[in-house]
């Protein structure tokens, strides 16, 4: 401090003294700083006329600060550092004469002479080197980026072709479906009335009721299971987060109770284990012991896995099967069994006679039977129709996807105006930090994965590019937002902001949790490396 002061002493100049009159003025603005004939000058906003001597006299006269471009007198002015040998820059007036050598002002013109040396040569040199290195990365990245763009074009072509070919397939399929529909309608109209009658069967109605009841039970069971799981998570967090030395008996009992219920070791023992052996004791909630089940009842496993199959039963088909089954014993009657006693030659005659006879009986109401063949044919036709319709829908959605894929590739709000991001769709990159791997699957999901195993947490699903920038602008692609990740207990849903910059690799470079459960990734990608030539126009303007 003292030596620095001594160094200053011989200078003994006023803040503005010993400096060029128009220090701090940008060369292009110099023409505005000329005195009138009467040696006066008008503030640039026209608000006031002052003496020419009052320009840069270290006293703020103009409300726009324009009379003090070279001093700190006006808080709203800025100072131009010429920085010969480097790039010129503005600094706010608050930095003028503050005793600090501004990095942006390498010529030291912002301070009294002698305070800061002119380091623009070295700074410029270093800057150019740094810039070259950046350019090198940018060029390399740009090459990779161009392959991404090429990929996008190819992908676009592929998707377009796919869309066209799918369209053709759709046309074919549509015709087929049409035919099948006609056929099914024909067959169905035959059996529809009969089927309606059968559906009045008390058994069928009861079955439907059972189905509804089962579905309701299933819904309730799922609700409770979810609730149990959430409670388990809360209790796990309590168990891990509570302070065992703090003698809150209510908490301790809750933890102990949970551990017993969930078959977990006592957390203190686990922590001790960690301390001594440096590795975590296996920590999983023990599956509840299977309770013994009454002989015929379903096990929990069966409930989990087979209930859905049961509920998906085609009840109409079942009804028909049932009819078939119920009617079977009638066929055991002598009339139907006769065939076994008849000589083979008689058989065709007999069958013809029998059908006629049964029909006759049926008409008389003696035998109530259905035309089995008609109804099962109708079901089959329906089945074939629905399969064909499903296939048609699949083709249509595939086609729509292909078409929307085509639009997205070069859409500014998706894969960029040049499609440079398409290549990275669902590309996963990750960074290890602390006890976690932080994964980022671009355009899909960000995850936090404990390195020592355990539950992965979703940090969020892709939501948008930079919401604060115009789609298509360079700023727009420097940020991605992932939202609605797993909810933090006692906190918000996790979310991620990804700050992207040009780099030769797709990589996560840092992860910070700036606010609770709100993460900031930085990442690099060649997709952001525009060829330096493309930038030049902008850069040059910036540097003026």
Partner 1 sequence: MWARSFLGIVTLVLVVQDAAAFKAHDFKTCSQSGFCRRGRALAQRAQEAKSSWTSPYSIEPTSVVLEEGAVVKAGVKSSLYPEINFGLEVRIQEDGVVRVRMDEASGLHKRYDEAASWALISNPVTSRSVKWTVGKKDIRAVYGTKKDIEVVISYQPLQVTLYRNGKEQVVVNGQGLLHMEHFRKKPEPPAPKTEGSEEQTVIEPPNPRAWFEGDKEDDLWEETFGTWTDSKPKGPESLSVDINFPNHGFVYGIPQHATRLALPSTKGESPTFTDPYRLYNADVFEYLASSPVSLYGSIPLMHAHSEDSTVAVFHLVGSETWIDVSHDSEKSTQTHWVSESGILDLFILPGPTPDEVFAQYARLTGTPVLPAQFSLGYHQCRWNYVSSEDVRTVNKRFDEEDIPMDVLWLDIEYSPDHKYFIWNEKTFPDPVEMINDVAATGRKMVVIVDPHLKRDSSYPVFEKAKELGVLVKPKGGEGEYEGWCWPGSSSWVDFFNPGAWDWWKSLFKPYQLEGGAWSWTQSTEDVHIWNDMNEPSVFNGPEITMPKDNVHHGGWEHRDIHNINGMLYSNLTWQALAVRSDPPKRPFVLTRSFFAGSQRFGAMWTGDNLGTWEHMAVGVKMVLANSIAGLSFAGSDVGGFFGNPDPEMLVRWYQVGAFAPFFRAHAHIDTKRREPYLLASPHKDIVYSILRLRYAMLPVWYTAFRETTVTGVPILRPQYIVFPKDKNGFDIDDQYYIGSSGLLVKPVTQKDVTETNVYLSDDQIYYDYFSFATYRGTPKGKHITVPAALHQIPLFIRGGSIVSTRERPRRASSRMAYDPFTLRVALSKDDTAKGDLYLDDGETYTHQQGQYVWRQFVAEKNKKGGKGIRISSTDLGKLKPTEAVEGAPGLTTYDPKNVYAKTLEDRNVRVEKFIVLGLKNKPKSVKVEETGEELAWDYIPGAASTDKKGGMAATLIIKDPKVKITSDWSVLIL
Q: Contact residues for partner 1 (CB under 8 A)? A: 1-2, 5, 8-9, 12, 14-15, 57-59, 61, 72-73, 75, 92-95, 97-100, 234, 237-238, 241-243, 245-251, 254, 433-434, 490-491, 510, 512-516
Cβ distance to partner 1 smaller for residue 369 or 490? 490
Cβ distance to partner 1 smaller for residue 413 or 475? 475
356/363 Cα distance (integer angstroms): 10
b/e map 172-206, b = 16+ CB within 10 Å = ebeebbeebeebbeebbeebeebbeebeeeeebee
438 token code pair = 């932080």
Min dist. Cβ of residue 13 to partner 1 (A): 8
* Phi, psi angles (nearest 5°) of residue 450: -60, 130
Radius of gyration of the chain (CA): 41
Cβ distance to partner 1 smaller for residue 47 or 490? 490
- C-alpha distances (whole Å) from 475 to each of 209, 443, 469, 479 are 59, 17, 6, 7
Min dist. Cβ of residue 103 to partner 1 (A): 9
Closest Cα to residue 474, out of 422, 535, 427, 425? 535
Min dist. Cβ of residue 7 to partner 1 (A): 12
Min dist. Cβ of residue 215 to partner 1 (A): 33
Cβ distance to partner 1 smaller for residue 376 or 522? 522
360/319 Cα distance (integer angstroms): 25
Min dist. Cβ of residue 294 to partner 1 (A): 38
For the chain, the 3-state helix, strand and coil shares in percent, each to the nearest 5, are 50, 15, 35
CB of 74 closer than 8 Å to CB of 88 = no
Cβ distance to partner 1 smaller for residue 108 or 416? 108
Cβ distance to partner 1 smaller for residue 10 or 343? 10
Cβ distance to partner 1 smaller for residue 166 or 235? 235
Cβ distance to partner 1 smaller for residue 224 or 272? 272
Which residue is it, tokens 């103009």?
A: 62
CB of 532 closer than 8 Å to CB of 135 = yes
Min dist. Cβ of residue 504 to partner 1 (A): 22
String of DSSP letters for 247-267: --HHHHHHHHHHHHHHTPPPH
Beta carbons within 10 angstroms of residue 259's beta carbon? 19
* Phi, psi angles (nearest 5°) of residue 198: -60, -35
Min dist. Cβ of residue 12 to partner 1 (A): 6
Residues facing 437 on adjacent strands: 432, 449
145 token code pair = 């980026």
3-state secondary structure 62-114: CCCCCCCCCCCCCCCCEEEECCCCCCCEEEEHHHCCCCCCCCCCCCCCCCCCC
Closest Cα to residue 445, out of 456, 455, 434? 456
Cβ distance to partner 1 smaller for residue 434 or 453? 434
Cβ distance to partner 1 smaller for residue 5 or 364? 5
Min dist. Cβ of residue 100 to partner 1 (A): 6
Cβ distance to partner 1 smaller for residue 113 or 221? 113
Cβ distance to partner 1 smaller for residue 152 or 511? 511
Min dist. Cβ of residue 465 to partner 1 (A): 21
Beta carbons within 10 angstroms of residue 61's beta carbon? 20
Min dist. Cβ of residue 227 to partner 1 (A): 15
Cβ distance to partner 1 smaller for residue 5 or 373? 5
Closest Cα to residue 81, out of 47, 52, 49, 119? 119
CB of 436 closer than 8 Å to CB of 452 = no
Min dist. Cβ of residue 401 to partner 1 (A): 39
Min dist. Cβ of residue 117 to partner 1 (A): 16
Min dist. Cβ of residue 263 to partner 1 (A): 21
Residues 6+ apart with CB under 8 A from 179: none
232/286 Cα distance (integer angstroms): 12
Closest Cα to residue 71, out of 53, 94, 44? 94
């Amino acid at each position: 401090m003292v030596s620095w002061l001594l160094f200053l002493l011989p200078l003994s100049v006023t803040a503005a003294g010993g400096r060029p009159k128009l220090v701090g003025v940008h060369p292009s603005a110099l023409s505005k700083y000329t005195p009138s004939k009467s040696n006066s000058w008008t503030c640039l906003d026209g608000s006031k006329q002052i003496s020419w001597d009052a320009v840069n006299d270290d006293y703020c006269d103009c409300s726009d600060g324009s009379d003090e471009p070279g001093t700190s007198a006006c808080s709203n002015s800025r100072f131009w550092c010429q920085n010969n040998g480097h790039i010129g820059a503005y600094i706010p007036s608050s930095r003028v004469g503050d005793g600090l050598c501004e990095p942006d002002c390498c010529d030291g013109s912002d301070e009294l002479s002698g305070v800061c040396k002119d380091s623009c040569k070295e700074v410029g040199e270093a800057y150019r080197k740094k810039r070259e290195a950046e350019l090198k990365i940018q060029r390399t990245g740009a090459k990779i980026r161009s392959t991404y763009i090429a990929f996008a074009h190819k992908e676009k072509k592929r998707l377009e072709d796919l869309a066209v070919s799918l369209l053709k397939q759709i046309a074919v399929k549509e015709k087929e479906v049409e035919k099948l529909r006609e056929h099914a309608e024909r067959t169905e109209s035959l059996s529809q009335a009969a089927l309606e009658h059968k559906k009045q069967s008390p058994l069928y109605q009861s079955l439907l009721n059972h189905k509804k009841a089962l579905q309701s039970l299933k819904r309730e069971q799922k609700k409770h299971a979810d609730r149990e799981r959430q409670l388990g998570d809360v209790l796990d967090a309590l168990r891990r987060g509570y302070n065992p030395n703090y003698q809150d008996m209510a908490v301790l009992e809750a933890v102990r109770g949970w551990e017993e219920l969930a078959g977990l070791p006592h957390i203190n023992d686990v922590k001790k284990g960690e301390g001594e052996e440096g590795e975590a004791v296996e920590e999983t909630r023990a599956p509840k012991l299977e309770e013994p089940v009454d002989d015929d009842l379903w096990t929990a496993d069966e409930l989990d896995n087979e209930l859905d199959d049961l509920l998906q039963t085609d009840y109409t088909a079942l009804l028909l099967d049932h009819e078939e089954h119920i009617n079977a014993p009638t066929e055991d009657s002598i009339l139907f069994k006769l065939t076994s006693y008849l000589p083979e030659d008689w058989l065709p005659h007999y069958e013809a006679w029998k059908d006629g006879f049964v029909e006759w009986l049926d008409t008389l109401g003696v035998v109530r039977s259905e035309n089995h063949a008609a109804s099962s044919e109708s079901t089959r036709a329906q089945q074939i129709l629905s399969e064909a319709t499903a296939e048609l829908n699949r083709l249509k959605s595939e086609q729509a996807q292909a078409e929307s894929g085509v639009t997205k590739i070069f859409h500014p709000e998706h894969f960029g105006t040049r499609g440079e991001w398409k290549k990275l769709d669902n590309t996963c990159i990750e960074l290890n930090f602390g006890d976690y791997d932080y994964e980022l699957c671009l355009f899909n999901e960000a995850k936090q994965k404990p390195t020592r195993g355990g539950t992965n947490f979703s940090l969020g699903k892709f939501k948008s590019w930079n919401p604060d920038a115009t789609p298509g602008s360079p700023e727009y692609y420097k940020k991605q937002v992932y939202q609605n990740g797993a909810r933090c207990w006692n906190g918000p849903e996790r979310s991620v902001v990804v700050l992207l910059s040009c780099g030769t690799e797709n990589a996560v470079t840092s992860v910070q949790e700036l606010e609770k459960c709100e993460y900031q990734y930085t990442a690099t990608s060649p997709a952001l490396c525009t060829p330096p030539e493309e930038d030049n126009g902008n850069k040059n303007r910036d540097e003026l």
